[in-house]
Structure 1
Amino acid sequence: MTAPHDDWHRPLRHVAADDLSGDTGQTPGMSRSEAISASTVGSERLWMGRTTVGAGASSGNHHHGDSETAIYVVSGHPVFVFARDGEEVRLTPEPGDYVFVPPFTPHREENPGAEEAVVVIARSSQEAIVVNLPGGLTG
Structure 2
Amino acid sequence: MTNEAKQPKNPPKNPHVLTAKVVRGSGSHVAEQGSVYRSGVSAQSVGSTMLWLGAISLPPGRRTKAHRHEGHETALLMTAGQEIEIWSGPELDQCEMVHAGDYLFIPAGVPHVAVNRTTENAEFLGARNDPAANESVVLMPELDNIVP
How high is the TM-score relative to the length of structure 2?
0.76
Please say if 1:15 is aligned against 2:23: yes
SS in 1 for 2:45: helix
Please report how far the alpha carbon of residue 135 of structure 1 lies from its aligned counterpart in structure 2 after TM superposition: 2.2
* Residues 48 and 133 of structure 1: CA distance in aligned 2, closer, same or farther (over 3 Å): same
Aligned to 2:3: none
* Residues 26 and 50 of structure 1: CA distance in aligned 2, closer, same or farther (over 3 Å): farther
Please say if 1:102 is aligned against 2:107: yes
Q: How does 1:1-139 map to 2 (within 5 A)?
A: 2-3=13-14, 5-6=16-17, 10-17=18-25, 19-22=26-29, 25-28=31-34, 30-76=35-81, 77-83=83-89, 86=91, 88-127=93-132, 128-136=135-143
* Residues 20 and 11 of structure 1: CA distance in aligned 2, closer, same or farther (over 3 Å): farther
Percent of matched pairs sharing the same residue? 26
Output the CA distance in 1 between the equivalents of 2:32 and 2:41. Answer: 16
Structure 2, gaps ≥5 residues long: 1-12
Aligned 8 A contact 2:92 2:111 in 1: no
SS in 2 for 1:45: coil
SS in 2 for 1:70: strand
Please report how far the alpha carbon of residue 78 of structure 1 lies from its aligned counterpart in structure 2 after TM superposition: 1.9
Provide Cα deviations, 1:86-130, integer angstroms capped at 9, x if missing partner.
462111121111011011101011001110101121111223222
Aligned 8 A contact 1:63 1:105 in 2: yes
Q: Which amino acid aligns with 2:140?
A: L
Equivalenced residue count is 130
* Residues 91 and 126 of structure 1: CA distance in aligned 2, closer, same or farther (over 3 Å): same
* Residues 109 and 131 of structure 1: CA distance in aligned 2, closer, same or farther (over 3 Å): same
Output the CA distance in 2 between the equivalents of 1:75 and 1:102. Answer: 23
SS in 2 for 1:55: coil
SS in 2 for 1:104: coil
Please report how far the alpha carbon of residue 20 of structure 1 lies from its aligned counterpart in structure 2 after TM superposition: 4.5
* Residues 21 and 37 of structure 1: CA distance in aligned 2, closer, same or farther (over 3 Å): farther
Aligned 8 A contact 2:28 2:36 in 1: no
How high is the TM-score relative to the length of structure 1?
0.81
Cα RMSD of the aligned pairs, angstroms, is: 2.2
